Amino acid sequence: MTKNQHLTAPVARQLNLPLTNLRSFDEPAGKYRRKEAVQEALKRTLRSAQLSREEIADEMSRLVSEKITVTHSANWTAESKNGWRMPLEYAAAFYVVTGDPGVVKAALAGSGIGVLDDKDYALYELGKIVADERQRSKRKRQVMETLGI
């Protein structure tokens, strides 16, 4: 071997998994297209909000530290503005300002992921606690029967 010859390691290749292994393989194309549903939820929330579009935009701007204008919200809801969509990172601020989780719910619909506000989450936690208590009580009865108590 000469000084100028270098040993080269084999090149690593990415192996592709068969598509049949993907969870989404059996889902029809377009099943999770949520554009129209999110747009409708935005329209509905903006129509029913107690604040004006300008007040919503101003408060969202403050919360996300980026300039959001009434024109942005108009573009997000206009059917003719196909390329304009509310960025996902604004969804939390939109919910906090309007109090309506409809946009996030519309985006996640059909995915198996749900959205709970603080009150609903507390009810969920209470339900888990009650279910756990019932399970422990059942197990306690089984053990007591085994011991003959």
Residue 115's pLDDT is what?
87
Residues in the chain: 149
Q: Is the pLDDT of residue 24 over 70?
A: yes
End-to-end CA distance of the chain: 84
More confident residue, 63 or 10: 63
Residue 17 dihedral angles phi and psi, to the nearest 5°: -80, 150
Residue 23's pLDDT is what?
76
Residue 80's pLDDT is what?
86
Q: Would you call 68 helix, strand, or coil by DSSP?
A: coil
Please tell me whether the overall predicted TM-score, pTM, comes out greater than 0.75 for this model. Answer: no
Angle ∠(136,140,146) on CA atoms, nearest 5? 145
In angstroms, the Cα distances linking 103 to 49, 59, 63, 131, 143 are: 13, 17, 17, 31, 49
Residue 3's pLDDT is what?
58
Number of Cβ within a 10 Å radius of residue 39: 20
Residue 112's pLDDT is what?
87
Residue 7's pLDDT is what?
63
Residue 30's pLDDT is what?
85
